[in-house]
Amino acid sequence: MSIIKVSIDKIYGILEPVDLELIKERVEVSNRMLSDGSGDGNDFLGWVDLPEQITPAQLDAVNDCAKSLASLAEVIVVIGIGGSYLGAKAVLEAMSDPFQLLHKKQDKPIVLFAGQNLSEDYLYELLAATKPYKLAAIVISKSGTTTEPAVAFRIVKEEIETRYGKAEAAKRIVAVTDAKRGALRTLATQEGYATFVIPDDIGGRYSVLTPVGLLPLAVAGINIGELVRGAQDMAKMTAADVPFDENPAVQYAAARNALYKKGYKIEILASYDPRLQYVSEWWKQLYGESEGKEGKGIFPASVTLTADLHSMGQYIQQGERTLIETVISVEKPRHSLKIDSDPDNLDGLNYLAGKRIGEVNLMAEMGTMLAHVDGGVPNIRIEIPELNEYYLGALLYFFEKSCGISGYTLGVNPFDQPGVEAYKKNMFALLGKPGYEDEGKLLRARL
Ligand SMILES: O=P(O)(O)OC[C@H]1O[C@H](O)[C@H](O)[C@@H](O)[C@@H]1O
């Protein structure tokens, strides 16, 4: 059995088996386009075979750098946005104890993120809170020119240099960027920072298994070897020659594209563990930037359950019927916690006595799935055995593969994001960046 199981039986009733049959061949062709490089954007396919190409020496280099940063700092600020942020954040949250900061003993450096917003207060408070701690930074930008991380890095760099001096700062800052291009590459060379390269043929949202994701995760004590091993196994299980019934990536791509054709235009990724919230955020960038173009594409949304059943649940059950619900279901909790019997039973919960919280969560998941299906929301279920590095690596690669397949099936280039430039142009013009003077005048007149 595959390490990830995709169940699509709960789309029937809304779709006929024939709807899926009609799309099967197309998704398999799309999968072959990824492996033979015959589709649009084929200069960005480096991620497809990346897992098997990662060598033990590369992992050692990342782990060694992580160790040296960790030996210098109690807090490491990871600066990046989009694909240079979400993969590391997703795995870190999924692997972490949400209450780690309350533990008296911190045996790993605390990893904080910056550069993923332009909030003045966020950055101010980050600087203030980290004052008592030994500090280091990892700055990540493929293009090396993205405004948000560049602004955050200027501020954090200044803080580190003021505290430790320029020479020591150069030991506490590591840059992950393009091999040659971009302001960050120039800056890193000039300042003498250690660097890791983001390969040219891997776009930001497909870069979690490059040093973009691996370095911050290694610093946080995550076993990146296991993460890569999971992805390696998933690459084999989703290869173009694996038949449809055994290949979770084509099954998922087929189900969502068949539903899209029938007018299901919003896909909600749901999970029943808040530690998966950022896996959903990572997934939203992956699918949103890959498919949302040329007036097409499923809108990726997410909910964390059961919390959102008490807010978004009403809409999902009875709102406009254009929703697909895709659930990431984790079979085994990391810990065991049982509900005890209470002699007074004032809360009426004795019927749950002896059950683990996980069993209650699973019944909530099953009950919700059937209720939503009955309400007209087709359900796709993605099961993983547990939340560890190996299965997370497999899950991330599964989503990447399925996303490439989905994009080609939809008829778009899943590896560009031309629409993202529009806001940047306006922001530069409004901020008075040289070269944008005329646009600036026009925009200001409209405000
Ligand atoms: O890594 P960077 O070049 O800084 O890019 C960070 C992010 O910025 C963008 O504008 C893109 O839409 C994303 O795809 C990218 O991941």
pLDDT > 70 fraction of the chain, expressed in percent and rounded: 100
| 360-380 burial code (b ≥16 CB/10 A, e <16) | ebbeebeebbeebbeebbbbb
Pocket test for ligand 1, best of 44, 79, 81, 145 (most atoms within 8 A of CB): 81
Query: Collapsing DSSP states into helix, strand and coil, what is residue 415?
Result: coil
Give pLDDT tens digits for 3-53. 999 999 999 989 999 999 999 999 999 999 999 999 999 999 999 999 999
Binding site membership of 401 for ligand 1 (Cβ less than 6 Å) = no
Answer whether 80's CB lies under 8 Å from 139's CB.
yes
The reported pLDDT for the residue numbered 138 is: 98
Give pLDDT tens digits for 74-86. 999 999 999 999 9
Measured from the Cβ of residue 31, the count of other Cβ atoms closer than 10 Å reads 26
Cα separations (Å) of 270 from 239, 334, 394?
26, 19, 18
**pLDDT higher than threshold 60 for residue 217:** yes
Q: Could you tell me where the beta strands, DSSP code E, fall in 279-407?
A: 299-304, 323-332, 379-386
Answer whether 409's CB lies under 8 Å from 27's CB.
yes
Q: Of the candidates 316, 232, 234, 304, which has an alpha carbon nearest to the alpha carbon of residue 275?
A: 304
Binding site membership of 141 for ligand 1 (Cβ less than 6 Å) = yes
Give pLDDT tens digits for 60-110. 999 999 999 999 999 999 999 999 999 999 999 999 999 999 999 998 999
80: burial class by Cβ within 10 Å (0-12, 13-18, 19+)?
buried
Query: What are the catalytic residues?
Result: 289, 424
**pLDDT higher than threshold 70 for residue 1:** no
Task: Say if the ipTM goes beyond 0.95.
Answer: yes
Binding site membership of 420 for ligand 1 (Cβ less than 6 Å) = yes
Answer whether 2's CB lies under 8 Å from 394's CB.
no
**pLDDT higher than threshold 70 for residue 410:** yes
Average pLDDT over residues 329-333: 97
The reported pLDDT for the residue numbered 156 is: 98
CA 84 to centroid of ligand 1, rounded, Å: 7
Give pLDDT tens digits for 279-300. 999 999 999 999 999 999 999 9
Mean pLDDT of the chain, nearest integer: 97
Q: Find how far residue 203's CA is from the centre of its chain.
A: 13
Between CA 436 and CA 88 the distance in angstroms is 34
Please report, as a single letter, which amino acid is at residue 336. S
Tokens of 192: 């003498």
Structural domains of the chain, with CATH: 5-40+233-409 (3.40.50.10490), 50-227 (3.40.50.10490)
Pocket test for ligand 1, best of 420, 425, 426 (most atoms within 8 A of CB): 420
pLDDT > 90 fraction of the chain, expressed in percent and rounded: 99
The reported pLDDT for the residue numbered 402 is: 98
Query: Collapsing DSSP states into helix, strand and coil, what is residue 326?
Result: strand
Binding site membership of 115 for ligand 1 (Cβ less than 6 Å) = no
Binding site membership of 291 for ligand 1 (Cβ less than 6 Å) = no
CA 418 to centroid of ligand 1, rounded, Å: 11
Average pLDDT over residues 423-429: 95
DSSP 11-51: GBTTB-HHHHHHHHHHHHHHHHHHHHT-STTGGG-TTTSHH
Binding site membership of 149 for ligand 1 (Cβ less than 6 Å) = yes
**pLDDT higher than threshold 80 for residue 355:** yes
CA 146 to centroid of ligand 1, rounded, Å: 7
CA 35 to centroid of ligand 1, rounded, Å: 25
**pLDDT higher than threshold 90 for residue 359:** yes
Average pLDDT over residues 148-163: 98
Confidence of residue 125 (pLDDT cuts 50, 70, 90): very high
Confidence of residue 417 (pLDDT cuts 50, 70, 90): very high
The reported pLDDT for the residue numbered 284 is: 98
Between CA 392 and CA 402 the distance in angstroms is 15
Binding site membership of 297 for ligand 1 (Cβ less than 6 Å) = no
The reported pLDDT for the residue numbered 41 is: 97
Between CA 248 and CA 406 the distance in angstroms is 13
Confidence of residue 365 (pLDDT cuts 50, 70, 90): very high
